[in-house]
Structure 1
Amino acid sequence: MAFEAFFLPASAGQRLALFHAPQASEKPHGAVVYVHPFAEELNKSRHMAALQARAMAAAGYAVLQIDLLGCGDSSGDFGDATWEDWLADVALACDWLQRRTAAPLWLWGQRTGCLLAIEAANRMERPVNLLFWQPVVSGKQFLQRFLRLKIAAEMLGGDGKGMMERMRSQLRRGEAAEIAGYLLSSTLAGSLENAELMLSHRSCRVEWIEISSKSDGGLSPVAVARLSQWQAAGHHVRGISVNGPAFWQTVEITECPALLEASIMAMSGIEST
């Protein structure tokens, strides 16, 4: 299925974008902007994101994928990017897509991309639907795990003792830290640490999908608690779990076919069986 690849002009440089035109109907069912995950999780997820974008287009959705500042083939270095830069990129992608179609807007986030998507949605004047893939609920906890990648590498070299505190001190002094080949700025680290998955009244729907390696695996306790909280507040939210590999962290590039089908069904409002 053909797609349009182009560079979207931004305030700083340009962003690589891939547009998948809706195939199944003349009037799109929705306009979808993909908000990708953090660092190496982005690279591990590209294949699944491409498969899902094509599936969405085949089902009648207009889909725009964008590499955020300093990521992939977009302008800038990862170490120079800020959370506000990335939020501006999400808004830029939404503006571009909304000029192409008046269909209902969806932000499709994966992992930390869900944190960006929900904050971007909270800032928008119009209602936004949200599709979450394995969302990160706490940026603070994610940052902690990301920093541990450095500790693991240093421990292999016999120098892991006290590494976490040294990195924390380095970031508090405003210095960048190199983690798993990515230069993490103190500004981005601070913003990520403060990010939480909090829903505002402006969002219309939330479709939360988690991936479990167990065939009978359900939603995580964290997901159940957050969804229950939102439902009690009157939000239209649903959550499901599908069986498959954690493709964003596997050594080899892997697929999760059940996730592709579940996402289309969730966006269409169809109850999974």
Structure 2
Amino acid sequence: MNSAAIDALPLLPFFQPASGGQRYCLLHLPPPGRSARGGILYVHPFTEELNKSRHVAAAQARAFASSGYSVLQIDLFGCGDSSGDFGEARWDIWHNDLHLACAWLAQRVDGPLTVWGLRLGALLALDFASRAPLPLARLLLWQPELDGRRSIDRFLRLRLATSMLASSTREVPGQARATLAKGEAVEVAGYLLAPELALAIDGVSAAALLPAVPVYWLNYQAPEQTCAPVPSLARQWREHGAAVHVASFGDGPFWHSGELLACPQLLDATRKLCHDWLGEERTRP
């Protein structure tokens, strides 16, 4: 299907009632007259990475829809256009949002259900899959965060870096962590991080989660890397019997890039890696 036809695929925006208000959803549908082969739920990344990556996720969602899948993008509670402020967001609320979205898809789409996540959204997808009440067929992980505490530490370093540039009182390393430990929220790059959310994310590690479904994992490969190494966690999962398929892409770290990257290599690598369930050949003529 050419790009013009993909861009013309049916698109349904709507608000889904949920706890604490409503969630903004965007449903990408297969071509008219074609029944869906399954459903795909997209789990977006954390804070500003959501905004940086929205256009790439939408392009991939359209590509999945052109292959016959119904793809649901949902803004989690406190994120994007959904109800709530980020400071009110909680890990368990996000779990409930994914449950709601999966149940919504399962009621309307026959076929297997795939959960696809980016960055912290991939870690949330892994955690969700470990206790999902609905059967899942597979996980697709784009540049997954593997350790929640490291993810929060990296986020807090943005606050430290900003304070070092300020002419007023500068923050010392560890100050934000100490504030969270006292049960107080901290503001980072315009986002109010609640201690409850930080603590919950701290406690999630991909190393402690053995996927029960096939995993399709894509990582960014920098230009100076001659070959993309298989992540050590992927090897560990394989040793414990998990089916893990790994590939790389070279477009760049679009989730925090200062410019919007189109990422054709990522979309092509995803198509090739997932060819067994997309029903497409590995390469095009």
TM-score (norm 1): 0.93
The aligned amino acid for 1:31 is: G
Distance 1:48 1:29 in 2: 22
User: What percent of counterpart residues are identical?
Assistant: 43
Q: Where does residue 86 of structure 1 map in the other structure? A: 94
The aligned amino acid for 1:15 is: R
What's the offset of the Cα at 1:253? 1.3
Q: Which runs of 4+ in 1 moved over 4 A?
A: 158-162, 270-273
Cα RMSD (Å): 2.0
Q: Where does residue 69 of structure 2 map in the other structure? A: 61
Native 8 Å contact 1:208 1:239 kept in 2: yes
Distance 1:115 1:192 in 2: 9
The aligned amino acid for 2:51 is: N
Q: Where does residue 200 of structure 2 map in the other structure? A: 191
Distance 1:129 1:145 in 2: 29
Native 8 Å contact 2:183 2:195 kept in 1: yes
- Where structure 1 has 5 or more consecutive residues not aligned to the other structure, the ranges are none
Say if 1:239 and 1:167 are closer, same or farther in 2 by CA, change over 3 A: same
Q: Where does residue 247 of structure 2 map in the other structure? A: 240
Native 8 Å contact 1:217 1:241 kept in 2: no
The aligned amino acid for 2:113 is: L
Structure 2 residue 174 is matched with structure 1 residue 179: no
Distance 2:154 2:141 in 1: 20
Q: Where does residue 153 of structure 2 map in the other structure? A: 144
The aligned amino acid for 1:99 is: Q
Distance 1:27 1:119 in 2: 30
Structure 2 residue 47 is matched with structure 1 residue 39: yes
Deviation string, structure 1 residues 224-264 (Cα, Å, up to 9, x no partner): 21111011111111111111111111111112101112222
Distance 1:25 1:219 in 2: 40
What's the offset of the Cα at 1:150? 0.5
TM-score (norm 2): 0.89
The aligned amino acid for 1:230 is: W
Distance 1:238 1:254 in 2: 25
- Where structure 2 has 5 or more consecutive residues not aligned to the other structure, the ranges are 1-7
Native 8 Å contact 2:251 2:261 kept in 1: no
Q: Where does residue 254 of structure 1 map in the other structure? A: 261
Q: Where does residue 72 of structure 1 map in the other structure? A: 80
Distance 1:217 1:151 in 2: 34
Say if 1:185 and 1:237 are closer, same or farther in 2 by CA, change over 3 A: same
Provide the secondary structure at the position in 2 that maps to 1:62.
Answer: strand
Distance 1:123 1:160 in 2: 44
What's the offset of the Cα at 1:178? 0.2
